[in-house]
Structure 1
């Protein structure tokens, strides 16, 4: 394994991590502020991807596709919050899990009815296609670098929103004591709708951007949702900083583990199954990481902080 290959895989891990952050940030906002377990968050990721693919196919504009993904996912999130979630805030988590699982089935079948069962494809725009030369002679995908830059920019914007704006103050107050801010005259229902729509928009953005490097298909959000839950458990529920750190840890662990462990097992185990054993262990690494973090810090790395 060369140094250039290792650096390229580190960049791939960062790209995977910031994509997970876009998913996990919305999920941790919704759970932290509302105390709501939303299994349908992956469906909002899928909606963003399908909206982007449909608009890009009709207009040829990638920027319009991203705007459509944000709008469609945010609108779907707001409707779900107003029509379904408001009835679940005072219910136990089992009811929330069952209701949001039903939403997964509804969204999946509706998407299949509208777009069919065959995957759609979203092309990378010409101005983001091809490789770019990095220091050290590394050739890396410009589009993947754009995903990394977009994710980090969104992270900075979220930190600013939560810590420096009036809406952020209300979100943090709603996380701490929702009854008190309702008594102060703040419309808690409107705040919840905004938070849910914001989280949905982030998921839709992630789906749209990833849709250009993989096929867009029904059910594509559920595997990512599982990883997003791992991220917020590692980072700490309700923490945007934890979501970012946890997502980068998961992205790098998953990518580098899949690269290094098979090579290490082949180096130290002179058997035909060494590479297979290494690959199997690599697929478990992120869950081993989660277990280690929970043993050390049961509330996650940044549990209880923004």
Structure 2
């Protein structure tokens, strides 16, 4: 195992982690402010990917597709909040789970009806299509580095939004005491719609950027949603900082586990068996990490608002 290959896998883990952060940040923001379990968040990830692929194919511009992904996911999120989610705030979590699971089916079948069952493909923009040289002579795609950069920029932007702006002050107040901010004359319905649309836009952005690395297809958001829930449980529900740290931890654990465990078992068993056992244990590793963290910190790594 070379140092170059290890660096490449670490970068892959960071790229996967910041993609999870874009999903988990919106999810934890929605849960922290509204107390809502939104299983349909992965569907908004899919909406962003399909919007980006469709507009990019029609215009030849990935950048217009990226803007379309933000707009489409935010609009879909706002519409869902107004028509469906708004009726669930005072209901128990089981009702929220059932309603948002129904939304998954509606989004999936609606997308299949509009676009068909065949996957779409999104080309990496020319500006980001090259590679940089790593120590040892290997090359690493610029686009994957750009994904890391976008995730870091979004994390900084969310920190400034939540901690330094009037809207962020209202969001933090909504997490703490929604009745009080309503009594102060703030339109809590509009605030909830804005927060939901923001979380949906982040999911759509993640879907658009991942769409250039894999095919865009119906149901692509559900596997990512499961990992996003793991992230917010590890980081602490309602904490943006926790979502960032948890995402990077999960991304590195998932990627390096799949890379290092087969290599480790290959030291004392045949390669075919090592690959099978290593892959099986790697898929369990993030859940083992989650269990260990919750055993010592049941609330997660960070408290809400951190």
Taking structure 1 as the reference length, the TM-score comes to: 0.98
Q: Figure out how many residues of one structure are paired with residues of the other and give that number.
A: 306
Question: What is aligned with 2:29?
Answer: 29
Alignment of 1:110-121 (within 5 A): 110-121=110-121
Question: What is aligned with 1:47?
Answer: 47
Q: CA deviation at 1:273?
A: 2.2
Q: CA deviation at 1:126?
A: 1.0
Question: What is aligned with 1:185?
Answer: 185
Q: Deviations over 1:94-131 (max 9, x none)?
A: 00000000000000011001100000000001111021
Q: CA deviation at 1:180?
A: 0.6
Alignment of 1:1-306 (within 5 A): 1-134=1-134, 137-269=137-269, 273-306=273-306
Taking structure 2 as the reference length, the TM-score comes to: 0.98
RMSD: 1.1
Q: Deviations over 1:34-88 (max 9, x none)?
A: 0000000000000000000000000001110000000000000000000001100
The whole-number CA distance in structure 2 between the counterparts of 1:271 and 1:64 is: 46
SS in 1 for 2:123: coil
Q: CA deviation at 1:185?
A: 0.7
The whole-number CA distance in structure 2 between the counterparts of 1:119 and 1:304 is: 38
> Which segments of 5 or more consecutive residues in structure 1 lack a partner in the other structure?
none
Q: CA deviation at 1:276?
A: 1.4
SS in 2 for 1:273: helix
The whole-number CA distance in structure 1 between the counterparts of 2:254 and 2:275 is: 16
The whole-number CA distance in structure 2 between the counterparts of 1:199 and 1:192 is: 11
> Which segments of 5 or more consecutive residues in structure 2 lack a partner in the other structure?
none
Q: CA deviation at 1:270?
A: 5.8
SS in 2 for 1:39: coil
The whole-number CA distance in structure 2 between the counterparts of 1:51 and 1:274 is: 41
Residues 169 and 269 (structure 1 numbering): CA distance in 2 closer, same or farther, change over 3 Å? same
Q: CA deviation at 1:135?
A: 5.1
